[in-house]
Every structure is written in structure tokens, then in C-alpha cells.
Amino acid sequence: MKAKQADLRRKLREELEEEDTAQQGGEESRLAELQNTPAWRAAMIKDCNIDKESINDFINQKKEMFLLEYSLAVKRGEIEQLEKVAAAEERKLTHAEQFLEDDAIIFDQFLKENDKNSVEAIKVAELETKVKMEKMSEIKRITTRMVTIKSDISKFEDIMKEFKMHKEFLFKLSPLEWQEAHRAKAKTLKLKSATRSATKSATKDKPKEKDKDERATPKRRTTTDSKESFAGRELPPIRDARTPSRQSTGRSDKLNHVAELKTDSSEYEEDPELYFRDPRQLLELLTELEEQNLSLIQNSRETEDAQEEFRQVMDYNRKKMEVETNQLTQQIDIMTHTIHRERERAAELELRARLFNFGKYKSDDKEGMFDSLGAKVEEVYRVCVGDSEANLSTLQMLKAIESRLDELLENVEIVPKERLVLAERAKEKERRFRLRDEKMHQDKQHQEERLKRALKRAQADVKKTTGKKLMARSQRPARKLKTSQVYDISDKEKEEQLYFFT
């Protein structure tokens, strides 16, 4: 189709060019005929205004005419060159069209071949896919078969393990003499099987060497024949069907080896021997073992119970010891605290006594007392008010402490009663705990003193009394005074002193 369209276009261009050239030639011939006719010249002369002109004007006109004719000649030359260029371009276009037509034909052929190849490739691909699907189905079938075979193998292995376990169990139940005899017999069978396998391997190596010699002899014969004559050259002898190949020999060797192993194992385990001929023997032995196991289990339970009781006793004793140690440590702490508190109280009382006896002491002692009082007041000021940046005197610090106490008392009046009651209860609870701890500590001390006395009495030498024992006088019962309130008051005073002066 493209070639036909190109032919039609070329024909139309040629016709148009011929018409243009014919029209141009007719016009030029007409102009030449008109210029040669006298009528045209007369008309041109009539039209022109014939005036008298000077030589310079005539020369100028001739120059202009010459220039016009020159320009016309130049333009005609350019037109001819352009026409040549156009003709060359047209030739190139025709050649290009021919090339395009040839390329189109070649491309059509290529497309046809490509279509054929694609069709063939599709057919081949379909065949390959069919073959592939068949192979895949075969592979799946084989894999399923392999899975089933593996499952069967695993089942048989489990069964074999169970049988081996039962065999070992029965072998262990049998007496030691029979076990040793059976082991010796098994060793002899193993040695016999090893000797048989060695002899068979040696007999198999001999035919292999013979086959190698037979293969080497025809090669030598062929070399001698080739040296005798070129025309009478013979091919090497065809391998006899009876002589097996290397692969077949290798496979047969493997199969024979497996068969030998099977035969050896079958010979070794062809008739497995058992000590127990009658199942009643085994049942009796099992009942005996069960009774032994039950007795051992009972003994182990008894030992476990005893161990558990011993463990409980140990835990109880350990906890008891821990509680006692904690109590003792608490009592020691309470005693040390009370001793420290009593020492401080004694120092304060001593200081107050010195203040009462102020005139009896010297100036140096007075200054030391004043310094200690100032330090104590400063400590109370720091606890109640806080650190002071300015250097205050003891009187100023006491005034600040009094003002702080007034503020606290006012705040106490503002605080709700419920909160005060809770605080008092907490304080009372702490006091009771402290008293209970002190009492426990005192009781512990008394008990320790009693124990020490008892130990001393036990360790002391026995005094043999001579004569009649002296009778002790009967003492009057001691009167018990109700001093709980007094103790409470003294405890409160102690707490206040500790709170305000420590």
C-alpha cells in the first residue's frame, strides 16, 4: 500500500512540473513575438514621452538598464541553480522513497517471520508447559510417596526402638551368667562375619583385576595392527554383553555389600535367644520387682517425711533465733539510747546545779557554763526557728524561740480537733511502744542475769553443809503502790525534755 501511494505522488509531481514548464515557455515565446512586431514598437514609442535628453541622462539610463539586465541575469543563474538543487533533492527523495519501500518490504517480511517464530515459540512453550506440568505432577506424586515411605520408616523405627527396649529389659532381667555367655557368643559371631566379609571382598577384587587385563590386551592388539597396515586398520573389539560396565559393577558391589550386611545381621539376629521360656517366670520376677519398688517407695516417703519434719523444726528454730536476735538488738539499741539520754540529762542537771551555785565558782568556770548554755540555746534555735544569718545573742535567740512557741500554740488552736486527736493518739502509741520495748529489754536483762547466776551456781563448787540448815525469816509482804500516773507524768516530762533540749 505504501509503495502504491509513493508511485501516485511521484506521477502527480511530474505532471505538475511539465505544466509549469509549458506555461513558462508559452509566455516567453509570446513576449518575444510581441517585441518583434512593429505595432508593439509603435505603441511603445507613442506611450513614451520623447523629450530632449542630455548625454548624461542617456548614460545614466543605459547604466540603469545594464544594472537591471545584470540583476536579471544573476537572478536567472540563481533560479537555474535552485532548479538544479531542487532536481537533486527530488532525485534524493525518489531514492529515499525507494529505500523506504525496500525497508517496508523487508520489515513486512520480518514481521511475517516474527509472527511465524512467535507461533512456533508459543507452540514450543505450550509443549514445555505440558511437559513441566507432567513433571511437576510426577514430582508431587513421588514426594507424596516419599513422605508415606518416610512415615512408614519412622513408624517402623519407633516399633524397632520399642522392641529393642523390651529386648534390653528382658536381657537385664536375665541372670548375669547367661548374659556373659550370650555376649561371648555374640562376639564369636561378629568375628566370623568379619572374616567372611574379608574373604568375599578378596574374591571380588580378583575378577576386577582380570577385567583390567582383558581391557589392556585389545588396546595392545589395535596398536600392533595399526603399525602393520593402514588399510587393514581394525576397530577396537566390541565390549561383550557379559562383561559388566563400571557403573553396573559399582552398583552391584553396593547391592552385594548391603545384602552381606543384611545376611550378617540376619545370621546374628536370626534366632534371638531369651532366658525366659515360660511367661510365668517373667510375671513372677515382675511381681518381685514391684514389691521391691513398693518397699523402696515407702522407705523413700518415710525418709521424705522425716526430712520434712526436720526441716520444719529447723525453720522454726531459725525463726525463733532470728526473733530473739532482733529483740536483743532492739533492746541493746534502746538501752544505749536511754543511757545516752540519761547522760545528757545528768549533764543538764549538773549544769543547772552549777547555775544555782553560781557564786561559788570561778569566772573561768562561769564563762564555760555560759558558752555551753549559748551552744545549747543555739541548737534549740536552729531546730525550732532555723539557721540565722546574723550573729544573735542568747537572749535574742530565746526571744525568737518564745515567739515561735507562741505562733505554734496559736496554730494549734487553729488546727481542727480531729487532727489534734489523731496526732495525740499517734504520740501516745509511740510512747506505749517505747515503754513496752524498754520493759521487754529490762525483762530480757533480768532473764540474762538469772541465767548468768544459774550458770555461776552450776559452775561453782558444791558446798557441803554441815549441821542443820538455818531457817530463813518470814518477811512481811511488800505494799504495792499505784504509781502508773506518776510514771506517766515522768515519761511525759522526759519526752518534752528530749523534744525541746536535744
291 in the same domain as 164: no
Residue 83 domain flag: yes
Mean pLDDT, residues 325-345: 81
294 in the same domain as 154: no
Q: At what angle do helices 38-47 and 2-36 cross, to 10 degrees?
A: 70
How many angstroms separate the CA atoms of 199 and 283, rounded? 46
Q: What is the pLDDT of residues 2-37, one digit of tens each?
A: 555 556 566 666 766 776 676 666 656 666 665 566
pLDDT at 127: 93
How many angstroms separate the CA atoms of 363 and 355, rounded? 13
pLDDT at 122: 93
pLDDT at 326 over 80: yes
pLDDT at 269: 47
283 in the same domain as 165: no
163 in the same domain as 21: yes
Which of these three, 301, 334, 356, is where a domain ends? 356
Residue 446 domain flag: no
249 to 201, 347, 491: CA distances (angstroms): 13, 117, 114
pLDDT at 217 over 70: no
Residue 411, SS3 per DSSP: helix
How many angstroms separate the CA atoms of 21 and 33, rounded? 19
Provide, rounded to the nearest whole percent, the portion of the chain with pLDDT above 70.
64
Is the pTM higher than 0.75? The answer reads no
Which of these three, 321, 356, 391, is where a domain ends? 356
Query: Around Cβ 34, how many Cβ atoms within 10 Å?
Result: 13
Provide, rounded to the nearest whole percent, the portion of the chain with pLDDT above 90.
11
Sorted by sequence, the CB contacts under 8 Å of residue 439 that are 6+ apart come out as none
Residue 90 domain flag: yes
pLDDT at 324 over 70: yes
7 in the same domain as 135: yes
Total of domains in the chain? 2
298 in the same domain as 161: no
Q: What is the pLDDT of residues 343-367, one digit of tens each?
A: 887 787 777 766 666 555 555 666 7
Residue 210 domain flag: no
Residue 54 domain flag: no
List b or e across 36-47, with b for residues whose CB sees 16 or more CB atoms inside 10 angstroms: eeeeeeeeeeee
pLDDT at 374 over 70: yes
pLDDT at 449 over 60: yes
Mean pLDDT, residues 270-280: 70
Q: At what angle do helices 363-384 and 484-501 cross, to 10 degrees?
A: 90
Mean pLDDT, residues 214-225: 50
pLDDT at 465: 61
- Mean confidence (pLDDT) of the chain: 74
Sorted by sequence, the CB contacts under 8 Å of residue 369 that are 6+ apart come out as 351, 354, 355, 361
Domain housing 333? 276-356
- Burial (CB < 10 A; 0-12, 13-18, 19+), residue 133, is exposed
282 in the same domain as 162: no
129 in the same domain as 10: yes
pLDDT at 265: 43
- Burial (CB < 10 A; 0-12, 13-18, 19+), residue 242, is exposed
Q: Are 260 and 198 in contact (CB under 8 A)?
A: no
281 in the same domain as 161: no
Residue 365 domain flag: no
Q: What is the pLDDT of residues 103-132, one digit of tens each?
A: 889 999 999 999 999 999 999 999 999 999
Which of these three, 136, 169, 202, is where a domain ends? 169
The confidence band for 143, taking pLDDT boundaries of 50, 70 and 90, is very high
Q: What is the pLDDT of residues 71-102, one digit of tens each?
A: 888 998 899 899 889 988 988 898 888 888 88
